[in-house]
Structure formats: structure tokens, C-alpha cells
């Protein structure tokens, strides 16, 4: 029996969905007692919009974390992508496809740089991606004082605000990207190899896996997901925003969603379905606290408690299985 056949199955983590259900139920009751209404159309649409932006980044983050790496440059890639998209379109619907293509190429280039630093130059992923992020930050801070460019009206209308019933088109995009990532992880050689590399790089290498190629590919896909998130945010804002990624804390929030969803930070265990559950949980907490007009500081405290609790629960489960 090969080492790859011993890998844990990549399946949804039910715990995060139980937590999501409990959060929504308790939140609905608390908001109702406060005189509000949690499950109205405006709140639902807002929740799904928040989930769409964070979810696109978190799905990509899941890929690199599964491989035993991570990416702290995603927030800056998002900001850069909004600017590339808006400045390329410059208000023209005819430039939508070229703008999307250019964003994906630029973001893939950043991912390639991250991947090569981690694999070829053996730089720790935390340091490598943080360094690349700071390089992008320097470019953004030096080149832009504020919003720039103009998103094409067609993209603003379709991706930014159009809905199918109560579900925004952007959330449907998240579902499509999640489905593609799930298929890649569950049904392709790349997915099996990625989990193998995250589980035990040496065993994977001895099994014939080309570790470096797999990790570089994961970093490219992660940055491209951040690029998609940047395109979405450009459609919402109507222009490029040089600080939207960092102000939204998309780097740390995406890692939090991945961890809450059950993916091990050490790699080798987890999946994108659980990550989407983590994204929805964080978005639901935001929606509930916004309804209750809770102080922003207290909101972050609760988020921190949830992340610590999630990591503690999954660590305890791992220890029990090991025993």
C-alpha cells in the first residue's frame, strides 16, 4: 500500500456547520429580543457579500495551508488587483475581459514569486510571503494616495450588485471557485499530492511527488483567488483602492476562516468546504453584531475567542486520534 493511500479523506468538517447553525439560531433570538430582525433580505444579502469577498481569499489560503505553507501577501494582492482592474477598465465595458485577464496574470506572478521563494530559496513561508507583501505595500504607498481608475459599469452591475433572488452573483462565484477547488483536491493528482506534501514532505518525495512544483502551483492558485477577490471588490467600490485589502484584514481573516473550518495549520488535513463554513461563521457574527450595534473592539475580542476555541478543539481531537 502506498503512502498516498494512507492520507486522510478531505471531507467537510461538520463541527463548523453545527457552530454556524447555533450562532445563527442564538443570534436570531438575541436580535429578535432587541427588537430587530436578523433574517431579512438586506441582512442576508449583506452577509453573503461579506462572505463572498473573504471566501474567495480563504479558498486560496486553504490550498497553501494544506500544503504546509501559508500566504501573508494576499491582502496586498487584493489591493493591487483592484487598482489593476479599475485602471485597465477605466470605465469601459469593452475592457472588462482584458482587465480580468491582466489581474489574473499579475496575481499569478506574485504567487509564482512566493512559491519560488519558499521552494527554491528555502525561505520560511511566513517570512517570504510577508516580505513580498511589504514590497507590494511599498509600491502601493508610493504610487497611490487614494482611489484610482474606474470600474466598468457592466462589472459593477453584474458582479458587484446583481442578485439571483437573495443570493448575490459574487456568492455564486464563490460557490463555483469552491467547487473547482474541491474537485481539484478530491479528484485530481495535484490535490492528492498537495495533501501528501502537507502531511509529510519526505514521505511524499519518496513516493515520487515533486514537492516544489506542487507548492508553487498552490501559491499561484492562492494569489489568483486573491486577484478574483480584488476584482470583486473593485466592482463593489467602483474604483481601485490601494488599502482595501489591509483595511479588511483579509490576510489574517482568511487564515482564521481556514482554521475555524478545520484545516490544520501544519498542513495535510482539511478542505475547502469547511473553510466556507468558517467564512460564513465569521460573516454571521459580523451581521449579528452589526444588528446589535456592538462595539468594534468587543467584536474582535469575540472573534479571537472563537479562533482560539476552534484551534483548541481540533488540537484535542487530533491528540485523541493519535492516542
Residue 3's pLDDT is 43
Higher pLDDT, 2 or 136: 136
Higher pLDDT, 36 or 180: 180
pLDDT more than 70, % of the chain = 94
For the segment 179-184, the average pLDDT, to the nearest whole number, is: 98
pLDDT tens digits, 293-318: 888 888 888 878 877 887 787 777 76
Mean pLDDT value across the chain: 92
Q: What are phi and psi of 62, to 5 degrees?
A: -60, -40
pLDDT category at 35 given cuts 50, 70, 90 is confident
Residue 81's pLDDT is 98
For the chain, domain boundaries = 37-322
Pick the CATH number of 37-322 from 1.10.260, 2.30.30, 1.10.3470, 1.10.8: 1.10.3470
pLDDT category at 6 given cuts 50, 70, 90 is very low
pTM of the entire predicted model = 0.93
For the segment 12-38, the average pLDDT, to the nearest whole number, is: 87
Q: Is the pLDDT of residue 2 over 80?
A: no
pLDDT tens digits, 189-232: 999 999 999 999 999 999 999 999 999 999 999 999 999 999 99
Q: Is the pLDDT of residue 11 over 80?
A: no
Amino acid at each position: 500500500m502506498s503512502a498516498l493511500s494512507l492520507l486522510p479523506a478531505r471531507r467537510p468538517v461538520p463541527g463548523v456547520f453545527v457552530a454556524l447553525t447555533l450562532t445563527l439560531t442564538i443570534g436570531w433570538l438575541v436580535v429578535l429580543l432587541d427588537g430587530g430582525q436578523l433574517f431579512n433580505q438586506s441582512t442576508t444579502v449583506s452577509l453573503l457579500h461579506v462572505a463572498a469577498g473573504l471566501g474567495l481569499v480563504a479558498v486560496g489560503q486553504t490550498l497553501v495551508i494544506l500544503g504546509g505553507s501559508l500566504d501573508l501577501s494576499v491582502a496586498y494582492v487584493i489591493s493591487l488587483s483592484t487598482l489593476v482592474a479599475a485602471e485597465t477598465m477605466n470605465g469601459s465595458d469593452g475592457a472588462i475581459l482584458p482587465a480580468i485577464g491582466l489581474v489574473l496574470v499579475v496575481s499569478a506572478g506574485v504567487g509564482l514569486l512566493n512559491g519560488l521563494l519558499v521552494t527554491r530559496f528555502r525561505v520560511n513561508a511566513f517570512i517570504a510571503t510577508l516580505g513580498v507583501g511589504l514590497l507590494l505595500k511599498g509600491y502601493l504607498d508610493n504610487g497611490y494616495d487614494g482611489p484610482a481608475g474606474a470600474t466598468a459599469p457592466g462589472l459593477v452591475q453584474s458582479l458587484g450588485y446583481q442578485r439571483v433572488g437573495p443570493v448575490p452573483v459574487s456568492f455564486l462565484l464563490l460557490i463555483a471557485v469552491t467547487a473547482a477547488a474541491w474537485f481539484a483536491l478530491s479528484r485530481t493528482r495535484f490535490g492528492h499530492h498537495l495533501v501528501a506534501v502537507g502531511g509529510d514532505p519526505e514521505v511524499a518525495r519518496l513516493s515520487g511527488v515533486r514537492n516544489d512544483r506542487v507548492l508553487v502551483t498552490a501559491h499561484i492558485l492562492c494569489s489568483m483567488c486573491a486577484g478574483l477577490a480584488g476584482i470583486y471588490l473593485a466592482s463593489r467600490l467602483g474604483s481601485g483602492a490601494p488599502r482595501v485589502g489591509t483595511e479588511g484584514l483579509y490576510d489574517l481573516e482568511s487564515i482564521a476562516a481556514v482554521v475555524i473550518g478545520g484545516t490544520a495549520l501544519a498542513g495535510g488535513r482539511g478542505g475547502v468546504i469547511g473553510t466556507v463554513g468558517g467564512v460564513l461563521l465569521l460573516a454571521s457574527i459580523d451581521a449579528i453584531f452589526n444588528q446589535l450595534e456592538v462595539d468594534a473592539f468587543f467584536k474582535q475580542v469575540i472573534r479571537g475567542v472563537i479562533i482560539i476555541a476552534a484551534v483548541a478543539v481540533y488540537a484535542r481531537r487530533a491528540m485523541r486520534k493519535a492516542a
